[in-house]
Amino acid sequence: MPKTSRLIVGLGNPGRTYDKTRHNIGFEVVEAIAARARVPLAPWKARTVGGEGSFRARGFALAMPQTYMNLSGESVLGLVRMFGLTPAEVLVVVDDLALDPGVLRLRAGGSDGGHNGLRDIAERLGTEQFPRLRVGVGRDFPRGRQADYVLMPFTADQRPLVDEALPKAAEAALCWVTEGLGTAMNRYNGWKPTPPDALPRSATSGA
């Protein structure tokens, strides 16, 4: 197997309580990547569920920290040291309230935008300059209810949009592994799922 030279980290919270919630979209993307690249996921190093694999002759690792969101940086730092990586060689997949459900955005770095997982990773790595793949979860919540919103499952209207986005997000992450951030940004930034009302009647009704 090629040497592991990239790390993809999906953020979320462990346990059935948080399964399929908006805050756990990073876990879902990692699972989609694992399925596409045939990477077995299991309890792993640095308090994660993860594993190593390769795609188009490039070695990479997948990880889902099991430390809870606010302490995600503990696992990330442990894996960075273990594999001898730089922050630029770590892609963090994270939910984004500022984007509509399923919309994708890649960035080379930047502020945490109020996201506690990103904040902890930046503090542990000592820099905000690490790539991130943001997946939109929308912001349809009353003022002051952000924490409740991200810890709830997607609505029946949102879930199909997210399901359409998952394989595309996996493609974007694997493009980053094999072709670099610039190509991945050019190819996938701004991608958004097809709204249900834009689909042909046969695609929505089964007729």
The half-sphere exposure of 207 on its side-chain side, counting CA atoms within 13 A, is 6
CA 38 remoteness from chain centre: 17
CB-CB contact of 11 with 92 (8 Å): yes
Q: Which residues are catalytic?
A: 23
Q: Give all strands (DSSP E) within the chain, no chain letters.
A: 4-10, 42-43, 48-55, 58-65, 90-96, 104-107, 132-136
| Residue owning tokens 């694999």 | 53
Interatomic CA distance for residues 136 and 22, integer angstroms: 9
What letter would DSSP give residue 152? S
Q: Is 20 left (phi over 0), alpha (psi -120 to 50) or beta?
A: left
Residue 66, SS3 per DSSP: coil
Please, what sign has the CA dihedral across residues 124, 129, 134, 137? positive
Cα gap 25→21, rounded to integer Å: 7
